[in-house]
Amino acid sequence: MKYLKIKEIGDVISGSTPKTEKKEYWDGEINWVTPKELGQLHEKYLTDTERKITEEGFKSCSTRLIPPGNILFTSRAPIGHLAINNIEVCTNQGFKSIILKKDYASEYVYYALKRSVKKLQDLGTGSTFKELSKSKFEEFTIPVPSLPDQLHIANLLSKAENLIAQRKESIRLLDEFLKSTFLEMFGDFTKNEKKWDKVELKYFGEIVTGNTPPRNNAENYSSDFIEWIKTDNIPVDDTYITKAVEFLSESGLRYARTVEAGALLVACIAGSIQSVGRAALTNRKVSFNQQINAIQPNEEIEPLYLYWLFKISRKYIQDAASNGMKKILTKGGFEKIKMIKPPLSLQTQFAQIVEKTEALKTQYQQSLQELENLYGSLSQKAFSGELTTKAQEQKVVIPIKQEAKIIQTELTKQQAFLRKLMLASHIAYELCEEPTFGHTKLMKLLYLCEQAGGMALQTNYKKFAAGPFDGKTLTLIDKEFEKNKWFTIEKKTFLVNDQQREATVYKKTDKSLLYKKYFNNYFESEAKTINRIIELFRKEKTQTAEIVATLYFAWKELKAEKTIISDNALIEGFYKFHPEKKKFTPEQIMTGYKYMQTNELYPQSV
């Protein structure tokens, strides 16, 4: 591996800005990007820009067009944002972009520069803000292996980076899951549609304001007796307080105010309004300073419910603070804030969901740390010559256990239907353009996805002629499709054995993909199974889906009866389902059975 200067691997170019007061220079079709926009990108590739300039604007300044597949690197405000442009683009003057020569892979150069950002920032000069000069950037060296090795390294690092991004998204979705669960169970607290009791905080438990033991006596402070919590120890997104930096001594404790485990600490004095209302629970006895009000919940309040109530109502809490230089929420004002107080049984049910979800979140956070360690190790090896294609083949090893399923909790009817709706939306979106797709196939795939994915969605599948079938659910789904304008629904007629039949046809709209965010949230752990089933039946006739779904139902019944699974038992169970099932021959049923075996689609096997 050799070291090359940036100017040896490509041409370094700067950008420029057309005059902003000239309207004719702006809102054209030429992509134009700024460092601020690149800082908000949070991914490797630039695929669009917020602002566009006209041909006239482009010609009015010294900016240059950068062909797709090159490196954008910000040289000021700040130094170090970078991306690969997937589109032709020009930049403002805050860039030193690289148009690469043919023997250099943009993905590899991207990772090499990403690893070197701190060194490049140290090369910047300037009093107001640092700027990296073109000459210093051009002279900067990076390790450069052969082109095959560049591609090999970039591929490995990209895989590791994608795993990290997926894990972060999984963690974010768990928080979204809890937020949506809270709102489903308790409603919007500001509107209080569910008509819960709304009472002042002083009725939630004892309100305690912290204090500071006398500083003029050093003996009040020690390094090991009891933590003295400050607002810095109240994290933005974590449930529990962090460990304090300062501790009080036994004598200092006499002056202090304390709370036991299960109390909620709330930042009530802060320099900015954004910090007011930040809250976290205690999982140990602690003391705390006067910027914090604490609630030690009474027997009618579940601490985890209280934490999420504050997390979701942060803006509501902030509105109660004073508007001076320091934002202050006094104890008197804090006590009078009214909040919803649902029954303890419902609070406890929510707390159980939180505990299970937080346990899964802890697993995800541990695996995220392992993945980040893996990325660091791969990166170090990559730029020291240890990940070449000539060396023993390297693989991105995922150092995590198989992911646990998303928390299976007892869903309300509304929660279960929302999940069914999103599942049906995904199936319809994927298959609605297939000529064999309609009501019957949708219901069969809903059934198979629910069963194979182990979902408890409370669908009432009955032994109808076209069963397993739940006509009520299907009617409600169609109504929601039309109400949300996710799909249009049409009826078409056709002849079968000289008899006129009617079929339902779903068609996409420009709003069809709005379901996707919710689907990803609800079915993160089951998505692989769902998509597998969709692909299995994409080109299959509806009768294949009907045979397989009916066999699946009959198979489950045989297992429940502890009957040995055999060809004859399955055929008999199939025909017992409904008299109309005799339209299928034993040979057709056995063909479906073999299809299930080949694709491992049978009870407790997916």
Residue 406 within a domain: no
Q: Is 402 inside a domain boundary?
A: no
CA 590/CA 606 separation, integer angstroms: 20
pLDDT digits (tens, 9 = 90+) for 67-114: 999 999 999 989 999 999 999 999 999 999 999 999 999 999 999 999
Residue 606 lies in a domain: no
Q: Residue 184 pLDDT > 70, yes or no? A: yes
Q: In this structure, what CATH number is given to the domain that contains residue 327?
A: 3.90.220.20
pTM: 0.61
Q: In whole angstroms, how far apart are CA 234 and each of 245, 283, 337, 422, 441?
A: 13, 13, 20, 36, 52
pLDDT in tens, 195-246: 999 999 999 999 999 999 999 999 999 878 999 999 999 998 899 999 999 9
Claim to verify: residue 380 and residue 361 sit in the same structural domain: yes
Instruction: Examine residue 51 and state whether it is found in any structural domain, yes or no.
Output: yes
Residues 352 and 497 in one domain: no
What type of residue is 363?
Q
Instruction: Calculate mean pLDDT across residues 541-556.
Output: 92
Tell me the backbone φ, ψ of residue 492, rounded to 5 degrees.
Answer: -130, 150
Question: Where in the sequence is the domain holding 476, given as residue range(s)?
Answer: 413-598
Q: Which residue has the tokens 């199939």?
A: 574
Report the distance separating Cα 571 and Cα 588, nearest Å. 10
**pLDDT averaged over the chain?**
88
Q: Which of 144, 173, 207 is the last residue of a domain?
A: 144
- Across the strands, what pairs with 287? 228, 258
Q: How far apart are CA 578 and CA 376, in angstroms?
A: 60
Residues 372 and 421 in one domain: no
- Whether the pLDDT of residue 294 is over 90: the answer is yes
What's residue 224's pLDDT? 82
User: What's the pLDDT tens digit per position in 8-67?
Assistant: 999 999 999 999 999 999 999 999 999 999 999 888 999 999 999 999 999 999 999 999
The answer for 42, left when phi > 0, alpha when psi is -120 to 50, beta otherwise, is left
369 and 279 both lie in a single domain: no
Q: Lowest mean pLDDT of 131-145, 275-289, 480-494, 574-588, name the range.
A: 480-494
The reply to whether 407 falls in a domain is no
Instruction: Let me know whether 550 and 496 are in one domain.
Output: yes
**Would you state the structure tokens that stand for residue 109, as one six-digit string?**
């150069």
* Same domain for 502 and 556: yes
Q: Is residue 405 part of a domain?
A: no
Residues 256-281: tens digit of each pLDDT = 999 999 999 999 987 777 788 999 99
Q: Residue 413 corresponds to which tokens in the numbers above?
A: 């009817």
Distance CA 261, CA 253 (A): 17
Last residue of a domain, one of 297, 312, 341: 341
User: Is residue 321 located within the same domain as residue 360?
Assistant: no
DSSP state, 242? P
Compute how many other C-beta atoms are within 10 angstroms of the C-beta atom of residue 524: 18
Residue 164 lies in a domain: yes
pLDDT confidence bin for 326, thresholds 50/70/90: low
* Residues 590 and 526 placed together within one structural domain of the fold: yes
Residue 282 in this model has a pLDDT that exceeds 50: yes
Q: What is the average pLDDT across 322-329?
A: 64
**pLDDT for residue 405 is more than 60:** no
**pLDDT for 494:** 63
Residue 603 lies in a domain: no
Residue 63 corresponds to which tokens in the numbers above? 């900016």
The total number of structural domains that make up the chain: 4
pLDDT of residue 399: 44
Residues 64 and 118 in one domain: yes
Which two tokens mark 450? 């629910």
Span of 192-196, 390-394, 448-452 with lowest mean pLDDT: 390-394
More confident site: 324 or 318: 318
